[in-house]
Structure 1
Amino acid sequence: MASTTSGDVLPSGSRIFTTVPDVFFIPEFVFGGLVWILVASSRVIPENPLGWVMFVSIFCFVGTTLWFFIFLCGANQSSIWPSLDVGFHFLAVVFFLSASVDLAYITYLKGVAFTAFPTAESLKLYRLDISAVVMSYVATLLYFLHTIFSAIRWKNS
């Protein structure tokens, strides 16, 4: 059976703004960047789980930026790129899901502490953490959808 992969399986240039999985690049930037900003603007206590959240959000933000520019410049025309696309976005889903769960748990613990000793500053930080949790799960959903549609495109290639 002959291979059906052709050189232009993936879109390049401005066509990435019109294809279904690649249209998720911009929302992934926005929501992943918001997670990064919101976690960085609150107190990073405890350091270990929130350090993982920061690593994941920065890693995925930089990775998505590089991936976006590779697609935009048209350097993705080899037959291995569809599988790399699925692999990168699957890794991002796994990373973001684990970071989201960690962030939600830490936010829950901060909420329990907030109810014991409520202050205006702790309320502000608690609201920032809740926003970060919501943005993190939205980013996870976006990366998941990108992975699913990339896998469909990879299977059809």
Structure 2
Amino acid sequence: MSSATSGASLPSGLAVLTTFPDVLFIPEIIFGGLVWILVASTKVAFQMPQGWVMFVSVFCFVISTTLLCLYFCGAHGGSCSWVTLDVIYQGTAALFYLSAAVLQAYVTYLSSISSLQYITYQENIAAVVFAFLATLMYVIHKVYSLLRWKSS
């Protein structure tokens, strides 16, 4: 697997799956989708925080999937502006997911002290775990995207 610093441009085609930061799109999409599914399947007791969690998970799922498809198609054409876009998106997604994970953890804590069902509590715990894993993936992707941006 090649690293982010070996080339200044973004890969295209199946080469997306051979570069380290770009292969992180796969777990980002999976973990984000799991957060989306788990929060959507629970009884929403706290609308504002869980609404933000849903917005972040759906937004990042759609944008990450779109970027991955664009990189597969080679729509970026090797332009440096796409490297900058990648850095900006990964940073924004990392901050969004960190805030969503903290809010989901808070909602899970509140549901543990209230009279919500045990199954809902377990789903909220799983959503917290996957939200923090998605945050970690986006932070790692951000660091390596910054290294690629710096070398471009």
What runs of 5+ residues in structure 2 fail to find an aligned partner?
1-7
Equivalences for residues 77-116 of structure 1 within 5 A: 77-113=78-114
State the match for 1:18 in structure 2.
Answer: 18
What is the CA RMSD across the aligned residues, in angstroms? 1.4
Q: Shift of the alpha carbon at 1:112?
A: 1.4
User: Which residue among 122, 131, 149 is the counterpart of 1:136?
Assistant: 131
Q: Shift of the alpha carbon at 1:128?
A: 0.3
Tell me the TM-score normalized by structure 2: 0.92
Separation in 1, partners of 2:9, 2:50: 38
Tell me the TM-score normalized by structure 1: 0.89
Q: Shift of the alpha carbon at 1:75?
A: 1.2
Give per-residue Cα distances to partners, 1:88-145, cap 9 Å, x unaligned.
01000011000111000010011112xxx4xxx7110000000000000000000110
**Identical aligned residues as a percent:** 50
What runs of 5+ residues in structure 1 fail to find an aligned partner?
1-7
Separation in 2, partners of 1:45, 1:65: 29
Separation in 2, partners of 1:29, 1:17: 14
Question: Secondary structure of the residue that 1:139 maps to in structure 2?
Answer: helix
State the match for 1:126 in structure 2.
Answer: 121
Q: For the pair shown, which has the larger CA radius of gyration, 1 or 2?
A: 1
Runs of 4+ in 1 over 2 A off after TM superposition: none
Separation in 2, partners of 1:36, 1:15: 28
